A and B are shown apart, each in its own frame.
Chain A
Amino acid sequence: MSTAAPGASAEAIGYHYSIGNEFYRLWLDKTITYSGALWEDGDTLETAQLRKLDYHLTQAHVQPGARVLDVGCGWGSGLRRMVEKYEAGKAVGLTLSQAQADWIASQNLPRTEVRVETWLDHAPAELYDAIISIGAFEHFAKPELTSDQKVEAYRAYFKRCHSLLNPGSWMTLQTIAYGNVSKEELSQFVEKDIFPESDLPTLTDIARACDGYFEVVALRNDRKDYERTNRAWLTNLRANRAAAVKLVGEQDVVRYEKYLALFIIGFHTGTMNLFRFTFRRNDKPRIEGGISR
């Protein structure tokens, strides 16, 4: 594990996920997908989550036989989807949570490998044909970084992905971002009690960070989709409240209820955005020659 990583440490990520797989299974959908879904009329939470995964895998141009990397693979719903529906030849997932890795390993998915490793340390023998990352970028920069340091940390991610991809490849990124709010205004509760060591990007941060390495082909802001997702999660948590309290105790259930309610408000009012990017690799990046960022 890199010690000088600019993003949240494995310990910090572990803090959020150490509450246990069973707790999340009480209120996430059956695929255990813990990120904003993509909703259409008539969707259940599960079909909206699968729609989101399909969006990413389609936008990333995942073809049968492709080698695909999922950065921040959660409980493996993206890995499962890419091997089962898109016939990926090799699906590799990175997570910092041992609990998630153990869960995925127990699923015995074909042609799938899960690694407890950061993208900084990931050094595969072969290049990838596509990369997706859903709900991990939020953890790539610590709150104490300056604006320039934060962009530098994100830029290192795009540089790394660029070096991991074959020429002509596509990549997607889904992340929460600051919306119409100052950093100081966004609740300290979320940083302290829910996602320690994590700061959110702004649209400008991402634009500066990817410049040169990737071409932005599409960008959607689907904050209302994440509002609806959080609302579904809160409804599920409340419906299973007694079981949740039995599992993790009243205090932690209250903590999650507050966090989900705050996120509902954030996405509802636009203090937080949900960006879904589609990138195409720039095969001749004009960077070494001194491209500005």
Chain B
Amino acid sequence: MNASTQKQIGAAEIQDWLVTYLSKELSLSPDEVDVTTPFDRYGLSSMTAVLMTGEMEEWLGRTLDPTLPYDYPTIETLAQHLASQPASKKAVR
């Protein structure tokens, strides 16, 4: 992971990113994606979780643990968690 492009991004922006990603992934309109509904309620597979985490790594420019969507199981809690992490922190350890 090239970490030279790390960004500090706020919870609202991360939340929007996740809504956009999931609405595309699940063929829903963004309005239909509820930020407080658990990912597994949308039928999110572990492969989708891996791909989503990978895309987020690219976007945020830092390493993320693939289990994050399980420990923070809604868009809201995941976005809050990611925004609270310093940009330099590497999650995969």
Contacts and interface: CB of A to CB of B under 8 A. Distances in A.
B29 interface: no
Contacts of A261: 50, 53-54, 66
Q: Which of A235, A258, A261, A264 has the most CB of B within 10 A?
A: A261
A187 B67 contact: no
B11 interface: no
B35 to A, nearest CB: 22
Chain B, interface size: which category? 10 to 19
Contact of B70 (A241, A258, A262, A269): A269
Given A238-B1, A261-B53, A189 B47 contact: yes
A264 B49 CA distance: 11
A15 to B, nearest CB: 20
Nearest to B90: A235
Contacts of B54: 257-258, 261
Interface in A112-168: none
Interface string A235-257: 10010010000000000000001
A268 B92 contact: no
Contacts, number: 44
B67 A264 contact: yes
Main secondary structure of the interface of A (DSSP, over half): helix
A257 B93 CA distance: 15
Contacts of B65: 231, 264
A265 B49 contact: yes
Contacts of B50: 258, 261-262, 265
A139 B41 CA distance: 33
A177 B63 CA distance: 29
Nearest to A258: B50
B93 A262 contact: no
Interface string B44-75: 01110111011000000001011100100000
B58 to A, nearest CB: 12
B66 to A, nearest CB: 4
A36 interface: no
A72 B2 CA distance: 37
Contacts of B47: 187, 189, 258, 262
Nearest to B53: A261
Given A265-B67, A265-B70, A269-B70, A234 B46 contact: no
A140 B62 CA distance: 39
Interface in B5-49: 45-47, 49
Nearest to A232: B93
Interface of A: 187, 189, 227, 231, 234-235, 238, 241, 257-258, 261-262, 264-266, 268-269, 271
Interface of B: 1, 45-47, 49-51, 53-54, 63, 65-67, 70, 92-93
29 contacts: A187-B45, A187-B47, A227-B67, A231-B65, A231-B92, A231-B93, A234-B92, A235-B93, A238-B1, A238-B63, A241-B1, A258-B47, A258-B51, A261-B50, A261-B66, A262-B46, A262-B47, A264-B65, A264-B66, A265-B46, A265-B49, A265-B66, A265-B70, A266-B46, A268-B67, A269-B46, A269-B67, A269-B70, A271-B46
